[in-house]
Structure 1
């Protein structure tokens, strides 16, 4: 095992973490003094046990079952210090973190900086801390520990994903009324308004990374310009725009120095610049750049190109870009996407996958008059398809939370036909946990299995999510715009890096 990369940085970091604290092991000597030596095993794909039955009248056998076995991890650690007392204190710290006298598991987190992966599993201390003085395993300023841990669940957990939330849109409309304009609707045609898909991607003139502290208080795309770069360019592909439609694009920018921002919308048919405006924005606060254009070329597609030009002297730091929006018409509306809370009567929702689809804003009929037969039809049903794309090697177990009010909740996995139905109304948040050895449904006041009685036997599938796209359908009646459906799950991998 090569202890370091060509740039001198560790190619592997292992963190052992418990309720007491944590110890970081790296392949390069650090100030903490815990060095990971050659010979590490158990961080890759676990062993698999296969049960089979011999065929009575033919060669070979047939598979009965298979499972991944519990896994031992061997971590040869060298503790470095200034003197024997220093080494002994660091050894004691490692002993405390490993919780050798309790049943508490230790979180083993593995980070590979080169591949930008961080994964974790839970394990128990087995051996290695028996102690060694003198010889090859101990000296004045070091002590070698052949640490062995055992993971009963061999799967590695990756990032915790939280798609959603999904909430009801009122879909109000007059019935047999002479007022046809009583329903207002806007659509943000940018499928990725937070630009999260550009996280970690190379951008013309720089590198993109999604960070906290966006314009709307969530995240933003931070662009770190390349050394000496005079500009960086972000290209967005909106949803198809009708021919002749007047559209207005805008996004928010904040830079480490003053920058010139051009938003140019191009027709790829002949590379015609349809519209461009230049804005000078300050470094200390968010500023919005916008442009209005009309699509004119038949058979063309439209892209939005934001060019951020460095001031004199070059960039002095990263530039933040967020809240991209493209709407029809010449008015620059307030920014919204499907995750924006209800504001001034406007209800926002995603038309597909959150942060990967067009979003819409709808405002109902408050304050409007319907002069003839004032019958209003209003949808109070959350019903629609959700596509959850699971990354990883193994199935993921979702944890659902559903905010009240609502009734007759139905979750369907369209790929397998599995269904989970919760009958009746509920007035507080429901949590549905599908993780193995948990499989529970509860509310803050009903947490002892009472709700299991409201799940029919033929619709009691606490289904999981398979790697790749999972098409799910959610239905709930009696909902309001405040009713939300959320889920979260941990990515699951066979290897630690």
Structure 2
């Protein structure tokens, strides 16, 4: 980029001083291209429009005063090399927040899956449903083990005795129905990982290496029906996912689970428990999984996966009659795509920013008062939240013309007289092929 420049001062000395100041301002920093960038802004005197381009000085100040020198004034030609040749318009912002008339506590949105097991990765020997403890039965020796795990750091090791019925009750008979609702009369899918270090060679009983679903009936009796056991894990070394779909009887007062070793030789390990309402594939997830959250203390509470984009929608600060709840148009002028920045102020969690099929989804908490900045170019999230970004996310640009944007966030709150609420600010500069 070439810029013709006329410099003028009251005296020759002042002109020389002005040249030195210009040189200090635009001379590149050795070995640091980013620090060498100079913002060159021009203004159209007729319209007042300003546009800016960033460049690195190349030449125009070197040598003698040149033929353009006239004592008190001088003509120069300054050349810059521009890594990005686009001219940028003024910085624009759009701020979105929850309408003050909304509830202070908002729903978490639609859930794709809910894991009702409150100790799914067996971080302790607390019962899987948050009540009682894991117990030994029929000669089994049960212990928390770090020898192997498929979720978290530990699993439950079931070492048999001389009884082929050796089992571990994952919740005692007295456990109430799984927290999260009454499952009586409903279909559930229960699954866990069972690991065999090696094939078992001793005597085996019925339902060896299986997962059973027990029921406390309305009259207080308990038991596991023959059709409430899963298919057995193969008698071969490795990890096997056991899945059982079961219809809980009407009037049931509670359910419990049993993982059975079923052999007199060799231990088995169980881990990665899921208990879900309805028919699911039984694959494992907990609150630490991508796109998932705990309902309470991690590894001591149930967990869920929110359907991206189904959380509470944001409202613009000013609601026009044509506004669509949670969706609004951001008009982009200029000649090229815009790479914006998004600033998120908590509280809230599980943020989704979406335009059509392009989506940014960041799972987890945004603490009250915290500010997270997402820069789409360069790709940067401050503070670092890349571990919380879903694999399907894309830091997308905004296109010239209208951009229909939807922003949702779980547990977002409006402003109150005592504290600021959740806020999302969009910052961008439009790009042009010409300066003026």
TM range (shorter): 0.3 to 0.5
TM-score with structure 1 length normalisation?
Answer: 0.39
Normalized per residue, which structure has more strand? Answer: 1
Structure (1 or 2) with the larger CA radius of gyration: 2
Q: TM-score, normalised by structure 2?
A: 0.44
Could you say which structure has the greater relative contact order, defined with CA pairs below 8 angstroms and 6 or more residues apart? 2
